[in-house]
Amino acid sequence: MKIAPSVSAVLLFFAIGGRPTLAQSTSFQGSQQESPEFLLRRAWNAMGASRTSGKLVHYTGAASLDQNYESDRTYPPYLAFIQTEEVWFNPETAIERSNLAITYPLSKRQTSTVLTDANRAFSATDRGLQISSRNAMQSRYLNPWLVVADWLRSGARVTGSETYRDYPRIVLTRTTANGDERLFLDPKSGFPVKLDFLQKHYLWGQRHIEYLYTTWQASNGVSVPCASYLLADGSPEITLSITDVDLVSVDAVSSMTLPAEPALSEDTLPRFLQALPLKVTQVGPSTYLLANPGFAEVVTKIGDEVFLLDSTQSEQRAREDAEVIEKLFPGNRKITVVVTDLAWPHVAGVRYWVASGATIVAHKAARNFLQQVVDRRWTIAPDYLEQHRKDVKFKFIGVDSSYSLAGGALTLHPIDGIASEVALMAFLNADHFLWASDYIQDVSEPTQYASEVWAAVHRDALLPERVAAEHLPLTPWTKIEELQSQITKLAAP
């Protein structure tokens, strides 16, 4: 049986470096060779930092961003966005400037400029640098130079050796405000291999995040990974490929100076996921739109039952929905939640309702995914479902054709266009109101989504007078008819 080498034995391979600056390695003797600082400076020097004095490292690259949270299926392959990058970073100050351009399907390219240091991200705007949340720092973690620089400025400890990608790696650990992080270093060469930590998540509770650095190449005196990856729970979400790398003057780019305050970027959700105050709009005698800047939902009371059409954003949003429902319809009532679409933000409140005893109605194809959502163990910050798991029963009704609830007062209909498979829409007959899920977003011009909803309405002989959706306010159905007539005219010979 082979025995994995100890950290001490592994360190016998190490070479000794020069003097103690961030951009140059330091000489250590005896037991100091096993110190975290030695290991980090060896990694720093292996990448070529001693050759960057007074220079910025500049590179260009392209990244594929998998949209697993909003693709047309909950399993791969996923829709991908393409982001091109031009990046400068200063090895002495560890400040990074990234010019980003992202291409969305059938949309205009969007550009942004992000600057980061070890604890903060800033967005460059017409009003100057504006602080951003920590989720804007992904590009920094994909760059092992900046990761090592940040670790050199913080307390780290050697915590063992672990086999990763077929070879033993030395593992360093540091404690942060968001939990422990681990950095894997290659004992043969000193190079960083991956950054590893658990991260809280609005749907999955927490995910195992890995930033992996591979296919190293030397260019203009420095070494960089030609490919860096972000993996979440083992699945790639970002693949970054680096192209040109060079060293440039510190004057080659706009200011690389960051404000002194604030000292830390907040670990906050994007605005569209925040459970901001709800606006309640009446649609019918017992039907209401519940909307905030991120998402709208619908609640209606039919007889002694309450139906919630979609539960989005988070448990906090679900709790706020519950408070509004209690005000609108006081008393304990049977709750049924209809899930019309499976994008992650669209179902992030479902766990709360399952734990509260609600029945979940969704497309038959949603069963496995929703079961995964319910079964997921939340270990970092247990939510309401996790705290009551022993009492939880997942009550599910699957739909793949027209389906009646409350004696036909509420009907569900698969949309079933090529862009809207496994999605449902809901029709409230008494209110002449159609809930179009996420499938009408824009009524300024014809869209594939709106056309498929229109086709499903006519296929099932529905007669809506008004329509709303997760990102569409209450709108006359005649507007959708007008859009479809434009398509008909364009298709005419």
- Judged against a pLDDT cut of 80, whether residue 493 lies above it is answered with no
pLDDT for res 246: 95
- Per the model's pLDDT, the better-predicted residue between 4 and 130 turns out to be 130
- Judged against a pLDDT cut of 50, whether residue 3 lies above it is answered with no
pLDDT for res 492: 67
Same domain (yes/no): 301, 203: no
| Dihedral sign for Cα atoms in the order 349, 352, 358, 363 | positive
- Judged against a pLDDT cut of 80, whether residue 12 lies above it is answered with no
Asked if the bond preceding 77 is cis, omega within 30° of 0, the reply is yes
Q: What is the pLDDT of residues 53-109, one digit of tens each?
A: 999 999 999 999 999 999 999 999 999 999 999 999 999 999 999 999 999 887 889
| Structural domain containing residue 422 | 271-491
In this structure, is residue 470 part of a structural domain?
yes
In this structure, is residue 33 part of a structural domain?
yes
H/E run at residue 384? helix 384-387
Question: Can you give the CATH number for the domain in which 405 is found?
Answer: 3.60.15.10
In this structure, is residue 262 part of a structural domain?
no
Same domain (yes/no): 237, 282: no
In this structure, is residue 2 part of a structural domain?
no
In this structure, is residue 58 part of a structural domain?
yes
- Per the model's pLDDT, the better-predicted residue between 332 and 231 turns out to be 231
pLDDT for res 230: 98
Please tell me the distance from the alpha carbon of residue 325 to that of residue 430, in angstroms, as a whole number. 20
- Per the model's pLDDT, the better-predicted residue between 186 and 33 turns out to be 186
Please tell me the distance from the alpha carbon of residue 292 to that of residue 294, in angstroms, as a whole number. 5
> Among 27, 5, 29, which residue's Cα sits nearest to residue 16?
27
Cβ-contact 42, 35 below 8 angstroms: no
In the three-class reduction of DSSP (H, G, I as helix; E, B as strand; rest coil), residue 341 is classed as coil
Q: What is the pLDDT of residues 409-420, one digit of tens each?
A: 999 999 999 999
pLDDT for res 255: 81
- Judged against a pLDDT cut of 70, whether residue 6 lies above it is answered with no
Q: What is the pLDDT of residues 127-138, one digit of tens each?
A: 999 999 998 999
Same domain (yes/no): 245, 275: no
- Judged against a pLDDT cut of 60, whether residue 306 lies above it is answered with yes
Number of structural domains, the chain? 2
Q: How far separated are the first and last CA of the chain, in Å rounded?
A: 76
Region 265-293 average pLDDT: 95
> Among 488, 485, 490, 424, which residue's Cα sits nearest to residue 457?
424
In this structure, is residue 257 part of a structural domain?
no
Cβ-contact 290, 296 below 8 angstroms: yes
Cβ-contact 222, 245 below 8 angstroms: yes
Give the chain's mean pLDDT: 92
pLDDT for res 237: 97
Sheet holding 424-428, edge to edge: 403-405, 410-414, 424-428, 433-435, 466-469, 472-476
The model's confidence at residue 254, banded by pLDDT at 50, 70 and 90, is: confident
The model's confidence at residue 11, banded by pLDDT at 50, 70 and 90, is: very low
- Per the model's pLDDT, the better-predicted residue between 298 and 32 turns out to be 298
**Long-range CB contacts (< 8 A, 24+ apart) of 68-77?**
68/235, 68/237, 68/344, 69/203, 69/343, 69/344, 69/345, 70/343, 70/344, 70/345, 72/419, 72/421, 72/422, 73/422, 74/342, 74/368, 74/369, 76/235
Region 316-333 average pLDDT: 95
- Per the model's pLDDT, the better-predicted residue between 280 and 252 turns out to be 280
Give residues with Cβ within 8 angstroms of 434, minimum separation 6.
425, 426, 427, 428, 453, 457, 462, 464, 466, 467, 468, 477
> Among 426, 424, 414, 405, which residue's Cα sits nearest to residue 468?
426
In this structure, is residue 256 part of a structural domain?
no
Please tell me the distance from the alpha carbon of residue 156 to that of residue 165, in angstroms, as a whole number. 23
Q: What is the pLDDT of residues 211-247, one digit of tens each?
A: 999 999 999 999 999 999 999 999 999 999 998 999 9
pLDDT for res 105: 82
The model's confidence at residue 33, banded by pLDDT at 50, 70 and 90, is: low
Same domain (yes/no): 290, 241: no
